[in-house]
Structures are given as C-alpha cells and as structure tokens.
A = this chain, B = another copy of it.
Amino acid sequence: MAIPRKLSRDFGLICGDMPTGAKNTICDVEGVSVGHLTKIEGDLRTGFTAILPHQGNLFREKLIAGTEVINGFGKSAGLMQIDELGTLESPILLTNTFGVGTGINALCRRAIAENPDIGWSTGTVNPLVMECNDGYLSDIQAMALSEEDAFAALDAASSDFKQGSFGAGTGMSAFGFKGGIGSASRAFELDGKTYMLGTLVLSNFGKPGDLVLPDGRKPSPKDLSQTEERGSVIIVIATDVPLDSRQLKRIARRGGAGLARLGAYYGNGSGDIAVAFSTAQKIAHDQEGDFIARDCLVEGRIDILFKAAAETTQEAVLNSMIASPAMRGRGRQKRPSLADWL
C-alpha cells in the first residue's frame, strides 16, 4: 500500500470535459477532510470512513445541505432533519449496514462531549450515518465495529486520504468487481473566481455485466453468477459555492446521472443516496438576531454544478473500483479488481 494505486485517469478514462481540482478529490473543497478506520481481521472486511465537512464544531456552526434519495432501499440515518431544516450539523460517517447504530452512538457521544448543552438546554444533535452492505466479503452479522472504531476514523481525518478498499469501502463490491471509496473534483468559474465541487462515493452497487466505461468498453468479471443488482452507493458532494438547501438537493439529484452513465438503473435492492453540502457559509447554532444574510447562486447559473456533480460521481465510482486490488473475504469469496481488467 506504500505505492499509490492508479486511478481512472491513469488508464485514460476521462468522465466529461471539466477540469479537475488539484487533488481531484472531495478535499479540493477547502476545509473538507476524510479519515478511515479499516478492519481486516478473520472474516471481517469492514470499517468506518469519516468526512468532516469543516474543521470546527459542526453543531455550533452548521452547513447548508440537501439530500436526494435516488433509491431508498437503505438504512441511512439523519436525512430527514436535513430535508426539514436544510442544515448539516454533524460529521458524516460511512460504514456497513449493521454499523449504523454504533455510528449514531459515536456521533452523539462526541457531540455531547463537545457541546455540554445538547439535549438539555438546547436541542439534540442529528448524526448523519450512511451505509452499504459489505456482507459479500465481510462477516456483517458479527456487528464488529465499535464506537472507538468510529472515533478512530474521525480522528484520522485529513485532506489527504486513500481511495479504494479502506474504511467503509474495505469490503464493498461494484458491478461484480471490488468497490470501495473513490473521489473526484471539478473546478469552474463564477463571477471571475474559481470554485470547486468535490464528490466522495462509497460504491457497492451495479449488476455484473452492466458496467460501461467512458470509452464505451464494458468490463465484466468472469464470474457472472451474481444476477441481481444488489448493494448500494452513497454519494457525498461538497462545494464552496454559496447555495441554499433546495439548490443543494437539486445538485445531489444529479449524482444519479453519474451512476446511470456507468450502466446503473438504480436497482430495487440498492440504497442509492446522495447528500450535498456547501462550505461557503457557517450557520451559527446560537444566532443573536432574527435574520441572517446569505449569498446564493443565481438559479440560472446552476448547470455547471449539475454537470460537475454528474461527472465527479461517475469518476469517483471508477476510482473506487480501480484503486481497489482484488480481495478475498468471508467464506473465501472473491472480488476481482477492475484495474486488472484494464
């Protein structure tokens, strides 16, 4: 793992035509950091991935956010309050399906530690925990992740993180290949200034044989015995453009366009969820006055962000697969690497 894994652009696979940010990850959006806790032991291939939308106290300084349920066969927690209030007030944890409860507990406990008024003299915190089922390669029934594992992922967050089979991505599968964590970003100008949109995905979706590359090739694993589209995909989109929650919901929806370009049709058994947030303005938990001044993108200029959301989602999924070497897991089951096919 010392040598960085190749990504989709190293194989000449380009999604769309917009320029990337410097890192070509979600961390091109300033202030965003990502950390993993990877658990590979016995039959376990699982973990937590933490995304910190900014480096301060998120409960005290919330970010404007929006969500989109592309297909709701999933167990993610925390979306409802974001829909109602339009704000995100906790770090984001990604994990396996049966790790959601523990992820919630970890985020609650940490928020209480940082905000001694929570639940008493002020409201409670809304933890955002999203998941995919890594049960093909990992012993998901063991419910092996602990709150300490979640804290470790949160504490490991940095602006330089690994893609592929790390953290929540450790045991995931996509289109019959190994899936995991992937990311990508796009840069664009508004009012003469450069802005960023970056996306991170946890990929665990797609029926083997359905994958289409940007160059039209259709990679297929040798073993096509898995016939249903199973699993899920979580899409987290960050941008430094000032937007309201309705606009962020619209942007989140375009993550689905990126998935479809890869050959997906949002299968019945797939929990395909997108969340988008803007780092442009922090919304104080304790406001002094009754009004707050906010900048907002003019609606007619939003297409560039729609395009960036579709392109980065498509590329992030490819990166999640290409960065993941082949893996053998629970019961000797195996997933080949897309990189080896390429």
Contacts and interface: CB of A to CB of B under 8 A. Distances in A.
A105 interface: yes
B97 A306 contact: no
A242 B294 CA distance: 11
A184 B98 CA distance: 35
Contacts of A73: 81, 84-85, 123
A310 B257 CA distance: 12
Interface string A248-291: 00100110111111011111110100000000000000010111
A124 B105 contact: no
A297 B290 contact: yes
A265 B254 contact: yes
Interface string A211-252: 000011000000000001110000000000010111000100
Q: Which of A119, A253, A300 has the most chain B CB atoms inside 10 A of its CB?
A: A119
A295 interface: yes
A187 interface: no
Contacts of A123: 73, 133, 230, 269
Nearest to A105: B101
Contact of A296 (B69, B258, B294): B294
A191 B261 contact: no
B120 A260 contact: no
B133 A119 contact: yes
Contacts of A230: 123
Contact of A303 (B98, B141, B228): B228
A158 to B, nearest CB: 26
Interface string A82-100: 0111110000000001101
Contact of A244 (B101, B133, B246): B246
A81 B72 CA distance: 5
A236 B75 CA distance: 20
A271 B35 CA distance: 31
Interface of A: 69, 71-81, 83-87, 97-98, 100-105, 108-109, 112, 116, 118-120, 123-124, 126-127, 133, 135, 140-141, 143, 190-191, 215-216, 228-230, 242, 244-246, 250, 253-254, 256-261, 263-269, 271, 287, 289-303, 306-307, 309-310
Given A75-B104, A98-B105, 6 more contacts: A124-B135, A244-B244, A256-B257, A257-B259, A291-B296, A293-B294
15 contacts: A71-B253, A75-B80, A76-B80, A80-B80, A101-B102, A112-B143, A119-B135, A119-B140, A253-B266, A254-B266, A257-B265, A268-B306, A291-B295, A291-B296, A291-B297
